[in-house]
Amino acid sequence: MLYCYAYLCIVFGVLGEEQGLDEQGLDEQGMPLADAGAKAAVLVEALPYIRRFWGKVVVVKYGGSAIGHESEALASFAQDVALLRALGMVPIVVHGGGPQIGAMMARLGKVPEFKEGLRVTDAETLDIARMVLVGKVNREIVTAINVHGSLAVGVSGEDAGMIQAIPRDPALGFVGDIARVGPELLSRLLAQDLVPVVATIGVDEAGQAYNINADIAAGAIAKALSAEKLVFLTDVEGVRADPADPESLVSSLTAADLDYLLGRGSITGGMVPKVASALDAVASGVAQVHILDGRVPHALLLEFFTRSGVGTMVVA
């Protein structure tokens, strides 16, 4: 624990340097800036959270919409994941890739089609989704995390029976529901102190692959691994009561709130599976579930280590 605390001091020191502070606490203009008291307060504030999540599995769903937001977004996310691991948490990253699949389809001249937030997936779209998720997005996240040490291992839900799928609806093509999450592969990777990064392609008993919504997969993985916390990082500050109004952030959301918002058409598209998965996770014993803006630099650090409540907290 002491080691972790020292590590946190170093990292917050690094953040200070990134903000233009030198080791004497002077900024680039030579002005004294380092407020030692404020820095110490940040560290002290972090301590109970480090203790609370020490050795606990935390699942982070990184939305494809947040990944490509700006060139620095992925690097900031990767740094946060490495820090969670270094501070004794046991992170599992589950990622999406909707915009990246859409961009590749556009390059190949295919028009995407959605039904209730789920991508209609014919055989060719499945091929594209699998190539983009497993071959591109997954690799990029793994590589970004491994800048901070040999930590991350990329896996697909097809690996070692991790995501066992069944077809959802013939009208959606190769879109799968999760029949079962086999936790063994993830447990083995965690036991080796590795950070699994999961692309959510599932497979049925006959070996047919399916595209699985990453929000639903993240919730199912959190349940299967008895995670303490599940965080969805997306491209909006949280759930809005009015999708067009950024001021209408809902800071805490229950199943009844969701029914109400769904009933009046306020939750649509990609937010539907996210909220459904979040509610299912809290109902199944995941202690904390949050939907946050992954475009904000170090959104994960702020959520894990400070009292400032950001985004939407989902409660049972």
Are the CB atoms for 173 and 126 separated by under 8 Å?
yes
Are the CB atoms for 38 and 298 separated by under 8 Å?
no
| Residue span binding ligand ATP (CB under 6 A) among the ranges 70-78, 163-171, 267-275, 276-284 | 267-275
Are the CB atoms for 17 and 39 separated by under 8 Å?
no
Sort residue 213 into left (φ over 0), alpha (ψ -120 to 50) or beta. Answer: beta
| Minimum separation from the CB atom of position 31 to ligand ATP (A) | 39
Closest Cα to residue 64, out of 93, 100, 91?
100
Q: Alpha carbon of 169 to those of 120, 201, 219: distances in Å?
A: 10, 16, 20
CA distance 172 to 220: 21
| Residue span binding ligand ATP (CB under 6 A) among the ranges 16-24, 25-33, 108-116, 230-238 | 230-238
The answer to whether residue 21 forms part of the interface with ligand ATP (CB under 6 A) is no
**Smaller CB separation from Mg ion, 88 or 177:** 177
Structure tokens at 180: 């079962």
**How many helices and strands (H and E) does the chain possess?**
12, 14
Q: Alpha carbon of 12 to those of 43, 47, 145: distances in Å?
A: 8, 13, 18
| Residue span binding ligand ATP (CB under 6 A) among the ranges 40-48, 85-93, 146-154, 232-240 | 232-240
The answer to whether residue 98 forms part of the interface with ligand ATP (CB under 6 A) is yes
Residue 196 touches which of ligand ATP, Mg ion, none (Cβ within 5-8 Å per kind) = none
For 207-270, where are the E strands, in sequence order?
A: 209-211, 229-234, 252-253
Binding mask 272-301 for Mg ion (x = CB under 5 A): ------------------------------
| Residue span binding ligand ATP (CB under 6 A) among the ranges 172-180, 217-225, 233-241, 276-284 | 233-241
Unique residue bearing structure tokens 């996240």: 141
**Smaller CB separation from ligand ATP, 21 or 214:** 214
The answer to whether residue 157 forms part of the interface with Mg ion (CB under 5 A) is no
CA distance 164 to 158: 8
The answer to whether residue 270 forms part of the interface with Mg ion (CB under 5 A) is yes
| Residue span binding ligand ATP (CB under 6 A) among the ranges 15-23, 221-229, 268-276, 296-304 | 268-276
The answer to whether residue 121 forms part of the interface with ligand ATP (CB under 6 A) is no
Are the CB atoms for 214 and 95 separated by under 8 Å?
yes
| Minimum separation from the CB atom of position 64 to Mg ion (A) | 7
Are the CB atoms for 105 and 261 separated by under 8 Å?
no
Residue numbers 54-73 binding ligand ATP by CB under 6 A:
63-66
The answer to whether residue 243 forms part of the interface with ligand ATP (CB under 6 A) is yes
| Residue span binding ligand ATP (CB under 6 A) among the ranges 76-84, 92-100, 182-190, 282-290 | 92-100
The answer to whether residue 68 forms part of the interface with Mg ion (CB under 5 A) is no
**Smaller CB separation from Mg ion, 202 or 270:** 270
Q: How many residues of this chain bind ligand ATP (CB under 6 A)?
A: 23
Are the CB atoms for 233 and 294 separated by under 8 Å?
yes
Cβ atoms within 10 Å, residue 17: 10
Instruction: Give the residues lining the site for ligand ATP (CB under 6 A).
Output: 63-66, 96-99, 214-215, 234-236, 239-240, 243, 266-271, 274
Query: Can you give the binding site for Mg ion, defined by CB under 5 A?
Result: 270
